[in-house]
Amino acid sequence: MAIFSCENNIFVLETKNTQYVLGIDKNGYNRHIHWGRKCPVSDFLSTDIWDENSNHTELDMAKQEYTVFGGTMYRESDLKVQFPDGCREIELEFVDAKIGSNKLTVTFKDKVYSLEIALKYSVNDDDDIITRWAEIKNSGTDTIFIDRMFSAELTLPSVEPYTFKNTNGSWGGEFVETESQLQGGALVFDSKRGTSGHNQSPYFIAHQNATETSGDVYFGTLAYSGNFKVLCSRDLFYTTRISLGLNDHDFKYALKGNETFITPKVFCGYSWGLGEMSRQMNRFAINNVLPKQFNDKILPVLYNSWEATEFDVNCEHQTALAKLASEMGVELFVMDDGWFGERNNDCAGLGDWFVNETKFPNGIDELIKNVNDLGMDFGLWFEPEMVNPDSDLFRKHPEWAYHYDTRTAHTLRHQLVLNMTRKDVRDYIFERMDTMLTDHNIKYIKWDMNRPFSETGAENLEIPQELWYRHTQAVYDIVDRLKEKHPDVAIESCASGGGRSDYGALLHFDQVWTSDNTDSVDRMMIQKWFTYLRPTKVMRAWVTDVNWYNTPTTLDFRFNIAMQGSLGVGGNLTKYSKEDLEIGKRNVALYKEIRHLVQFGDLYRILEAQKDEILFNLYVAEDKSEAVAFIASNGTGFMKKAIPLKFQGLDDDKIYSLTVDGKEYKKSGAYLKNVGIPSTIRGMNYNRIIKIKAE
């Protein structure tokens, strides 16, 4: 909402409901003062920064906005460099602070060397998210080598220990929630795989017994898709801090004279309850993060061919699927893997982005025309960063994959990672994708990435450790260039499912493939964890024929779960009965009536599958004029036989009409919240979708 500067070099950032205060102490150190609920700004006019560090041996105690390596500061630092003469310590002095419209820049410089650090902050009028990052400048001529360069440091207010939510996910089991209480020492969540990955997440969610509806929650997420590090610590003074940034594992960056390095952004906030945190980030992501072409557009219902056909694609079968999909109401038909090179299985073809003429003897336009004639847009799968050793590309350019001449290159899924830090590699990928988009009526790309890096030799780089950062930037750069040239093409981020679904990806891609696990029972949890910090609308969810590990589910049940994100269909429709096709058609039609609420509404997680045996999610329109509830259960204990459905998030004073189990109700929002509607939830495959409308 506003940024105030007090005479005593204290800066107050105000969001809609929260306040964040920092300052400069008399020694010129940057200091953290407050993050949380609002206090009168005037109180900060006369605030002295507690003189914790009057004596430099106590520097460790200072709560800082950005900690540099050096002196008697023994905790983790956010910036560590080596100056040209070998000195590895930084000593900063305050330069100035500039306030722009909802923006603050506080600049420091080293007392001796040509290093400048600008701490950047921005806030918006209508939300509670603060954006932070750092700009590190070499204002001299000699190169400064950087060993660690985080984006931001955040300090939490309580001296009591916090519990940190993060994830311990895997392929097919993304976003599995972990809770770790940090009493002392450090907790690290990171990735060393090249992408943000399936395992730990580039964010922190810190709380003290918070629930969906209560308790202080502090959270922040790093907008970066490569190796990241989230370092949480609690020191001897019981201060809990979090630093987020590029992983310093195998990291080095040569900051040349006159160069400025802009770190990835951190989006952070404070909320009351976990539900409010998700709603804040959902709205913030839609308005401020997602690329502008599609951020405020309803995403179409798509069909994806992967589970139906795998690599066995051809015009006839894809057209048969497309016909059935269009009859179901699908709006976008995506052909997945298998259409290019000698791609008959996952052993060959990656890199050869030319249409396979045996599978498509009349070219791909024949299929695209069939799809367009059925009233649908056409989309195509690529895995641009990869190459199979068994490919024309690799035979011609073996040097294009990361490698060491002395080491055996490990293939995973029979493939190698291309050295995207090379211009010729980037040019080839861009040219291939651009040509496909230019020559054919393609409106959608699924950009996949199916293995972590290994043997990361990059002889083209002076500092090979820069490859991790440069590779990620190269992906963003190609996506941005494709979008600029083809603004009507939407791009999905996939990395063996949800392995690249971080906020860095969300700044460039329009949507995300959530998980290769399309089992609806597993998805009840995967989707809940996904929506903690990520926007619902980017969460692609397909109805497929898969019942991976669980008791078989009905088609209606599977639709119920998939309709809680951006709906897709991925089953082998040519095997569906007439009745099943009708069930699909009915559900797609229903989804089109309520999808504006799912994709743009506020999500209230009222009951959850694992803890409560019942999943009960409510998506409420911003103006609270309507809502849609999803209820699903795969069996409940007898004590859950009858429960009142209590609807949160509605307007207490509005009268809503809804039908539950065939009975019509007209009740106030207050009644629906406090008294609720009686319901009996029993048996396998229980599923209901309830539309709620204000009079």
Which residues make up the interface to ligand GLA (CB under 6 A)? 306, 336-337, 381, 448, 450, 494, 496-497, 513, 516
Map residue 111 onto helix, strand or coil.
coil
Greatest Cα pair distance in the chain: 80
- State phi, psi for 317 to the nearest 5 degrees: -70, -40
Q: Are 449 and 385 in contact (CB under 8 A)?
A: yes
Is residue 427 within 8 Å of 436, Cβ to Cβ? no
Contact call for residues 150 and 75 (beta carbons, < 8 A): no
**What are φ and ψ of residue 101, in 5° steps?**
-70, 110
Place of tokens 């072409």: 293
300 versus 497: smaller Cβ distance to ligand GLA: 497
CA angle 531, 653, 298 (to 5 degrees): 35
Q: Which is nearer to ligand GLA, 25 or 337 (CB)?
A: 337
Write down the catalytic residue from 448, 510, 519, 522.
Answer: 448
Q: Would you state the structure tokens that stand for residue 391, as one six-digit string?
A: 């490919």
Place of tokens 């001529």: 141
Q: Collapsing DSSP states into helix, strand and coil, what is residue 584?
A: helix
Work out how close the CB of 171 gets to ligand GLA at its nearest, in angstroms, rounded to a whole number: 8
CA-CA distance, 135 to 116, in Å (whole number)? 8
> Can you tell me whether residue 659 is helix, strand or coil?
strand
Residues 466 and 226: their CA atoms lie apart, in Å, by 12
168, 190 in Cβ contact below 8 A?
no
Nearer to ligand GLA, 284 or 381 (CB): 381
Dist CA 66 CA 152 (whole Å): 6
Contacts of residues 429-436 at CB distance under 8 Å and 24 or more positions apart, as own/partner, are 429/384, 429/385, 429/478, 430/478, 430/481, 430/482, 432/353, 432/354, 432/384, 433/353, 433/382, 433/384, 433/478, 433/482, 434/481, 434/482, 434/485, 434/486, 436/353, 436/380
Q: Which two tokens stand for residue 143?
A: 């190169």
Helix (H) or strand (E) holding 414, with range, is none
* Residue nearer to ligand GLA on the CB measure, 10 or 416: 416
Complex with ligand GLA: residue 206 or 325, whichever CB lies closer:
325
The partner residues of 347 in beta bridges, in order of sequence, read none
- The side-by-side arrangement of strands in the sheet containing 614-620 is 602-607, 614-620, 626-633, 686-694, 655-660, 663-668
Catalytic residue among 60, 190, 516, 519: 516
For residue 288, the minimal CB distance to ligand GLA (Å) is: 28
Q: In this complex, which beta carbon is closest to ligand GLA, that of residue 76 or of residue 336?
A: 336
Instruction: Check if the beta carbon of residue 280 is closer than 8 Å to that of residue 269.
Output: yes
- State CA 189 to chain mean position distance: 15
Closer residue to ligand GLA, CB minimum distance, 313 or 425: 313
Q: Shortest distance, CB of residue 432 to ligand GLA, whole angstroms?
A: 17
Sequence letter at residue 549: Y
From the CB of 497, what's the least distance to ligand GLA, in Å? 5
Shortest separation between residue 180's beta carbon and ligand GLA, angstroms? 29
- Using alpha carbons only, give the angle 467, 252, 56 rounded to the nearest 5 degrees: 155
In whole angstroms, how close is the CB of 365 to ligand GLA at the nearest point? 22
* Residue with smaller CB distance to ligand GLA, 415 or 648: 415
Judged by beta carbon, residue 190 or residue 516, the one nearer ligand GLA is 516
Dihedral sign, CA of 572, 573, 577, 582? positive
Question: Residue 52: what residue type?
Answer: E
Q: Residue 55 or 345: which CB sits closer to ligand GLA?
A: 345
- 516 catalytic? Reply is yes
The distance of closest approach from Cβ of residue 311 to ligand GLA in the complex, given in angstroms and rounded to an integer, is 8
In angstroms, what is the minimal distance from the CB of 517 to ligand GLA? Answer: 10
Q: Which residue has the tokens 């290159």?
A: 409
SS3 417: strand
How many angstroms separate the first and last alpha carbons of the chain?
33
Minimum CB–partner distance for residue 403 and ligand GLA (Å): 23
Per DSSP, the three-state class of 534 is coil
Name residues whose C-beta falls within 8 Å of residue 326's C-beta, 6 or more positions apart in sequence: 333, 374, 375, 376
Residue 486 or 500: the one with the smaller Cβ distance to ligand GLA is 500
Residues 6+ apart with CB under 8 A from 406: none
Write the CA distances from 415 to 379, 492, 607, 622, integer angstroms.
24, 21, 42, 46
Q: Per-residue DSSP letters for 185-232?
A: EEEEEE--SSS--SSS-SEEEEESS--SSSSEEEEEEE--SSSEEEEE
Q: How far is the CB of 390 from ligand GLA (least distance, A)?
A: 15
- Measured from each CB, the residue nearest to ligand GLA is 337
Distance in Å, CB of 516 to ligand GLA, minimum: 5
Residue 290 half-sphere exposure, CB side, CA atoms within 13 Å?
A: 28
3-state secondary structure (DSSP) of residue 241: strand
CB of 570 to ligand GLA, least distance (A): 9
Of 231 and 569, which has the nearer Cβ to ligand GLA?
Answer: 569
- CB 413 to ligand GLA: min, Å: 8
Beta carbon nearer to ligand GLA, 156 or 512: 512
497 C-beta neighbours (distance < 10 Å), count: 24
The catalytic site residues sit at 448, 516
